[in-house]
Every structure is written in C-alpha cells, then in structure tokens.
Structure 1
Amino acid sequence: MQKIEKRNMQVQIGETVVEAWRVDAEDTQLEEWVQNLFDKQICFWHPKNPDQLRFNMMFGGMASTGDYLIYMGKSDIKVISEKKFKKEYRIL
C-alpha cells in the first residue's frame, strides 16, 4: 500500500501522467491549477459544511475532504475517492 503524504502531486494512471490534489480545506499551498479553480469560482468550500468542496453549475458535483481532484487538462477535472485513488493511481 502506498503512503500518501503530499496534497499536490503528479500521478500516473496507465501510461498517462496527470496532476492530482488531495482535497483538504486546510491546504494553504495550492498548486497553480487548483488555485485557478478557486479564483475562477469553478469550485468553492460549502459555507455550512467546510469539509465539502462544491463545483459551480457548469461542472456540478462535489468532493469531500480526503477525495482527490484529478486534473486531466484545461477543463477536464475528475473527483476520485481515496479508495479508488490508491487502487488505480501511482504517485510519481
């Protein structure tokens, strides 16, 4: 089982290398692509549940603390559970 320490990282799934971020409301050193999501109001912390990350209507959905955002490209973002992340992704 791989140990996960970093919140911002490059990961590999198959032959593809992508960026990943472990969702954490206390993370203050965000990678540029994650900060960009907040700056463009694509995602935001739920005002009544600070452990829940919400996405604007264009993207829809939500993520919880411990989930992972996978950045596949300009507007291709996936939410992956920690269990699926550990099973399918390899940290570089």
Structure 2
Amino acid sequence: MQVKMGERIVKAWQVKHDEAPLEEWVQHLFDQQICFWNPRDNEQLRFSLMFGGAARVGDYLIYLGKSDIKVISEKRFNREFTIL
C-alpha cells in the first residue's frame, strides 16, 4: 500500500500471514531471502544480516528505497502515517 509520511509518499506493508498475493516489493524480499519467517517463532519476521533485525506480526515494513526498509510498530504507524 502507499502511505504518506510527512510530505513523502512511500510503500508500506503490515506484517501478517496472508494468503493473498503479496505486493511486488514484499514478494521480492522473500524471494531474495532478505526476510523470512523465523522457524522457531512464526509470529516473527527475520531479516538477513545485510538488514538485520526482526518484525512481529502487526508491525509495518516501510519501504524507503532498495536498501532502506524500516520496521515500525502499529501504534507509531497509526500516529505518523496516512494510508492513500
């Protein structure tokens, strides 16, 4: 989905287990093994060493560019972003 962050329009995806087709940029993250579901905790999305970190179901991934992805909480997303 596209969201507005201040004056900037960026892409966002809420982390969830969903049967619907993923947005192209999210599918690319999975296909390139940049992110993957933690085999020990299926509520956690992990990132490769290049990006590091993790996200929980309900968090949002904010795509700011090819190598710039941020994880933010649902609470912060609702406070700082507008869905277009």
Q: What TM-score comes out, normalization by structure 2 length?
A: 0.96
Superposition deviation, residue 25 in structure 1: 2.0
Distance in 1 (CA, whole Å) between partners of 2:59 and 2:73 is 5
Q: What TM-score comes out, normalization by structure 1 length?
A: 0.88
Match of 2:29 among 34, 37, 41: 37
Q: How many residues align?
A: 84
Superposition deviation, residue 26 in structure 1: 2.6
Distance in 2 (CA, whole Å) between partners of 1:28 and 1:63 is 20
Is the strand fraction higher in 1 or 2? 2
CA RMSD, 1 decimal: 0.8
Distance in 1 (CA, whole Å) between partners of 2:18 and 2:41 is 13
Superposition deviation, residue 12 in structure 1: 0.2
Aligned to 2:61: 69
Query: Which residues of structure 1 form unaligned runs of 5+?
Result: 1-8
